[in-house]
């Protein structure tokens, strides 16, 4: 199996020993504590699950700025975005060398992790601008990622941590949420040697389905890990339970047995386009995938990024050898009226625009909102029904 990023063995920060976990929870009750942001909480969950290997905790200001500028930490570890715990208020923890981090997303704000404090640093306006411009390639506060980043606060709390639970992800999505450790174990138990990973924050239509199958065939893979984001999205995106149901129905009916694994991860979407695509590749390598599909406007939003910027960043900015995982570069996909199947449009150079069934995401959402199922060339009818039922319930 492919090595994790930056090491030969995965380093999850979750405390697996039950007795030690209970001891830490007891200790946490006597420690200074802070309710952290949702973004920091999801970073802790990802660190706990081994997805952010080889990191051992939250980055400090110097590492954050170095990663934004060069995609490497001050000690030379390749990482595409800073993994931070930013706070707006440090009154409760000022001067503490060990603190309890409390979950903002669960009632009562239970302890999520215990952290040794290496430093508490203030970020300047210049620091924020430098980080935002590199991570998001825009300073526009209408960008949902920029907006969320600026809302987190001006203090960076850095240091190693011990993660004590996986927040609401493990309890709300018990059939879907999996750590990188668990996915590696399941890949081995299925006997897969060559694995493709597919990222989604949306329901999967026929183009997505066929893209997974095209990629598997092209690289001779044993299976695909369909890996859906379970964290916070921007307003208007379809909630995780609906996406989960739609994807499960599609796999049940349209994939061969033991060729698709449905999983999810606990992270809040950044909408950072190219930089987030590289982050996605890092944690797909950590979960054991050999190939990662990157298509049009991967992790993008609005018109902030070019259609294939998330692919070209691997050529232009990611150093050679930084990652072992390979990128499967997908083109626009559409249903061919001539071939009666979904194809990547680059593979049908003899087609005209009229030879394809082309529907924009806006058009599909409009149809669903009006109780109209997209055509079968675009969406499997069983998947469309789940989405129509969801949209009809919004009235």
CB atoms < 10 A from the CB of 222, how many? 16
Sequential DSSP letters for 343-355? EEGGG-TT--GGG
Q: How far apart are CA 123 and CA 240, in angstroms?
A: 34
CA distance 55 to 79: 9
Say if residues 90 and 120 touch (Cβ distance below 8 Å).
yes
Strand partners, 265: 229
Non-local CB neighbours of 26 within 8 Å, separated by 6+ positions: none
Q: DSSP secondary-structure letter at 357?
A: E
- Tell me which residues are annotated as active site: 201-202
One-character DSSP codes across 262-302: EEEE-------THHHHHHHHHHHHHTT-SEEEE-TTTT--T
Contact 322/79 with Cβ under 8 angstroms? no
DSSP 8-state class, residue 124: P
DSSP 134: H
**Which residues, at least 6 apart from 280, have a Cβ–Cβ distance to it below 8 Å?**
199, 292, 294, 298, 299
Stated as kind and residue range, the H or E segment containing 105 is none
> Across-strand partners of 98?
116
Q: Does residue 120 sit in helix, strand or coil?
A: strand
């Amino acid at each position: 199996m492919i090595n994790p990023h930056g090491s030969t063995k995965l380093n999850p920060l979750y405390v697996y020993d039950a007795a030690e976990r209970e001891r830490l929870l007891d200790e946490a009750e006597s420690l200074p504590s802070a309710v952290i942001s949702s973004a920091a909480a999801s970073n802790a969950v990802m660190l706990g699950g081994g997805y952010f290997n080889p990191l051992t905790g939250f980055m400090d200001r110097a590492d954050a700025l170095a990663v934004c500028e060069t995609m490497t930490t001050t000690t030379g570890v390749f990482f595409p975005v800073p993994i931070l715990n930013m706070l707006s208020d440090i009154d409760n923890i000022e001067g503490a060398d060990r603190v309890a981090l409390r979950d903002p997303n669960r009632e009562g704000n239970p302890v999520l992790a215990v952290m040794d404090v290496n430093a508490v640093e203030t970020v300047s306006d210049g620091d924020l601008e430098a980080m935002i411009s590199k991570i998001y390639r825009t300073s526009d506060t209408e960008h949902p990622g920029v907006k969320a980043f600026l809302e987190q606060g001006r203090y960076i709390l850095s240091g190693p941590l011990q993660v004590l639970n996986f927040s609401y992800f493990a309890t709300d999505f018990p059939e879907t949420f999996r750590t990188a450790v668990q996915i590696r174990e399941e890949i081995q138990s299925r006997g897969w040697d060559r694995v493709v990973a597919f990222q989604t924050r949306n329901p999967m239509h026929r183009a997505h389905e066929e893209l997974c199958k095209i990629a598997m065939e092209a690289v001779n893979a044993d299976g695909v890990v369909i890996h859906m984001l379970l964290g916070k999205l921007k307003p208007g995106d379809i909630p995780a339970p609906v996406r989960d149901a739609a994807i499960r129905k599609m796999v049940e009916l349209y994939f061969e047995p033991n060729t698709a694994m449905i999983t999810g991860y606990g992270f809040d979407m950044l909408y950072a386009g190219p930089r987030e695509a590289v982050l996605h590749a890092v944690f797909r390598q950590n979960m054991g995938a050999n190939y990662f599909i990157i298509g049009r406007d991967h992790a993008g939003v609005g018109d902030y990024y070019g259609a294939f910027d998330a692919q070209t960043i691997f050529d232009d900015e990611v150093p050679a050898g930084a990652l072992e995982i390979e990128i499967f570069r997908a083109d626009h996909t559409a249903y061919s009226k001539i071939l009666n199947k979904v194809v990547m449009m680059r593979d049908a150079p003899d087609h005209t625009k009229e030879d394809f069934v082309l529907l924009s995401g806006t058009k599909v959402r409009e149809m669903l909102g009006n109780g109209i199922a997209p055509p079968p060339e675009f969406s499997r009818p069983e998947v469309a029904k789940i989405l129509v039922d969801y949209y009809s319930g919004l009235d």
